[in-house]
């Protein structure tokens, strides 16, 4: 708490409690838990649903997109999304809709068969590094297969590299989760120096992989549009060409439940992936690939489409920031991110108070992601971090929820200070 007089603190608490009572009586019903696109965002891709249409089913190489085959994806789709991700089309695989499913497959295949340069992980002590705060589904995926989760702190350049370099000296550490652009949930974009160190660091496990989840590569909230990074180039340059498994999808570009998911990597990694995938399927949904390429057309088309998302999303992020600034600015009770892209705002508050904030918010009818969700095993030892997801509700709902949340953070901090 900043040095305020006891009288000033008591007055603050009285105001906050009165406001809480008034809001509690208002019967709000707001949900800030879901990092989902809103219906208005999904509507942006409405035109895609009529495509390819009208017997337009022949691909650029003359294949019938309705038929089996095309395991790696259509050349036109690989060209378009390769440009988006900054990887050559021949090193990209276009899959079904979910990149999480692609990550799941890679974990299972790594466990059962081993990745290029390694052997099966079954029966071995396997651990993954998890930058924290991070994405709960990454953690759950590893946990489900008995892979140990080792938290690594984040700073504003990405994972703290001194910690990472120390931890990868353990041969049990076979992988690391990375969301390099507009990280979930901090919004941090890894610096060039951090990416270079990840590409070049010495790992004890010869088959160590960066699980490089570029879920938010083009999801800008400002007019700045950083160029795609080149992790494949960096790893190759550092003599570790097979180090990165790259994942991405169009879930938050076109349709969250009916987009396209991508895998990319070195030549050896792509050959390995296709070998496993070829036993799992005769080929992906190529009509959906045609639909996407016809609709988005080229990289400019993707950027235009993402600018339309930005126009819907930026006011929601602004509403949250304004509410936090208005109630908590200058009090020294909490810090929050000002993301330039991605889907979340992270708030760090007085230690030991995040669970209490969630409880207080519930009392106002505001649902928040459980405290701890952004840490491995759902446990944040500091109980201080909350992830806010402002994308799905309307701007007015987001504003009302954010004002309520800011109030709860204020109240919890006053309680913690015994006021
Ligand atoms: N990766 C990250 C970092 C995410 O935040 C999300 C969704 O929120 C996903 C992956 C899910 O991707 P998909 O819809 O392609 O399965």
Distance 317 CA to ligand 1 centre (A): 19
For residues 29-56, give the mean pLDDT. 94
Read off the pLDDT of residues 357-404 as tens digits, 9 standing for 90 and up: 999 999 999 999 999 999 999 999 999 999 999 999 999 999 999 999
What CATH number does residue 19 fall under? 3.90.1150.10
- Could you tell me the pTM of the whole model? 0.97
Same domain as 175, residue 298: yes
Long-range contact pairs involving 162-167 (C-beta distance under 8 Å, separation at least 24): 164/129, 164/197, 164/198, 164/201, 165/197, 165/201, 165/202, 167/129
Evaluate whether residue 388 is within a structural domain: yes
Domain boundary among 238, 267, 302: 302
Same domain as 335, residue 197: no
DSSP symbols for 349-411 = ESTT-HHHHHHHHHHTTEE-PPTTTTSGGG--TT--EEEE--SSS-HHHHHHHHHHHHHHHHH
Q: What is the ipTM of this complex?
A: 0.99
The set of residues, in sequence order, having a beta carbon less than 8 Å from that of 351 and lying 6+ positions away, is 382, 383, 384
pLDDT higher than 60, residue 70: yes
Distance 252 CA to ligand 1 centre (A): 8
Domain boundary among 247, 277, 302: 302
Q: How far is CA 48 from the centre of its chain?
A: 24
Evaluate whether residue 1 is within a structural domain: no
Evaluate whether residue 187 is within a structural domain: yes
Evaluate whether residue 165 is within a structural domain: yes
Same domain as 333, residue 191: no
Domain boundary among 302, 317, 352: 302
Same domain as 329, residue 411: yes
Give the largest Cα separation in the chain, rounded.
78
Evaluate whether residue 196 is within a structural domain: yes
Query: Quick one: tokens of 53?
Result: 């249409």
Ligand 1 atom having least distance to the Cα of 35: 8
Same domain as 190, residue 62: yes
Same domain as 110, residue 65: yes
Same domain as 129, residue 80: yes
Average pLDDT along the chain = 96
Q: What is the DSSP letter of 227?
A: P
Query: Quick one: tokens of 381?
Result: 């030892």
What CATH number does residue 185 fall under? 3.40.640.10
Same domain as 320, residue 280: no
| pLDDT of amino acid 54 | 85
Distance 271 CA to ligand 1 centre (A): 24
Q: Please tell me if the CB atom of residue 41 comes closer than 6 angstroms to any atom of ligand 1.
A: no
Q: Which domain holds residue 361?
A: 6-42+305-416
Read off the pLDDT of residues 118-160 as tens digits, 9 standing for 90 and up: 999 999 999 999 999 999 999 999 999 999 999 999 999 999 9
Q: Please tell me if the CB atom of residue 221 comes closer than 6 angstroms to any atom of ligand 1.
A: no
| pLDDT of amino acid 124 | 96
Instruction: Give the number of other CB atoms < 10 A from CB of residue 18.
Output: 10
Q: Please tell me if the CB atom of residue 203 comes closer than 6 angstroms to any atom of ligand 1.
A: no
Read off the pLDDT of residues 353-369 as tens digits, 9 standing for 90 and up: 999 999 999 999 999 99
> Considering its fold, how many domains does the chain have in total?
2
């Amino acid at each position: 708490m900043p040095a305020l007089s006891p009288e000033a603190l008591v007055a603050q608490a009285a105001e906050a409690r009165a406001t809480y009572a008034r809001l509690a009586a208002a019967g709000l019903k707001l949900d800030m838990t879901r990092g989902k696109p809103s219906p208005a965002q999904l509507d942006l891709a409405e035109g895609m649903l009529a495509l390819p249409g009208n017997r337009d089913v022949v691909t650029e190489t003359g294949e019938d997109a309705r038929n089996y085959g095309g395991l790696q994806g259509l050349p036109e789709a690989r060209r378009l999304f390769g440009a988006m991700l900054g990887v050559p089309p021949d090193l990209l695989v276009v899959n079904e809709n979910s990149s999480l499913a692609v990550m799941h497959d890679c974990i299972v295949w790594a466990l059962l068969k081993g990745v290029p340069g390694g052997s099966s992980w079954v029966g071995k002590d396997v651990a993954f590094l998890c930058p924290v705060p991070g994405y709960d589904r990454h953690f759950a995926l590893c946990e489900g297969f008995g892979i140990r989760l080792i938290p690594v702190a984040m700073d504003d350049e990405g994972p703290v590299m001194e910690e990472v370099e120390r931890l990868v000296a353990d041969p049990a550490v076979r992988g690391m989760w990375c969301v390099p652009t507009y990280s979930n949930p901090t919004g941090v974009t890894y610096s060039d120096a951090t990416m270079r160190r990840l590409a070049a660091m010495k790992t004890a496990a010869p088959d160590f992989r960066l699980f490089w989840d570029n879920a938010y590569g083009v999801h800008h909230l400002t007019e700045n549009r950083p160029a795609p990074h080149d992790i494949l180039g960096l790893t190759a340059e550092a003599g570790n060409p097979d180090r990165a498994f790259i994942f991405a999808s169009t879930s938050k570009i076109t349709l969250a439940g009916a987009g396209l998911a991508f895998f990319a990597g070195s030549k050896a990694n792509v050959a390995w992936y296709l070998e496993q995938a070829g036993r799992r399927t005769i080929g992906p949904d190529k009509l959906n690939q045609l639909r996407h390429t016809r609709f988005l057309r080229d990289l400019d088309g993707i950027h235009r489409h993402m600018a339309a998302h930005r126009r819907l999303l930026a006011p929601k992020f602004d509403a949250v920031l304004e509410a936090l600034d208005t109630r908590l600015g200058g009090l020294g009770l909490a810090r929050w991110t000002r993301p330039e892209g991605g889907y979340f705002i992270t708030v760090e508050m007085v230690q030991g108070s995040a669970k209490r904030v969630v409880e207080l918010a519930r009392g106002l009818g505001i649902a928040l992601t459980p405290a701890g969700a952004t840490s491995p095993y759902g446990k944040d030892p500091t109980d201080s971090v909350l992830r806010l997801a402002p994308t799905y509700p309307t701007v007015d709902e987001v504003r009302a929820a954010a004002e309520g949340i800011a109030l709860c953070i204020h109240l919890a901090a006053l309680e913690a200070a015994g006021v």
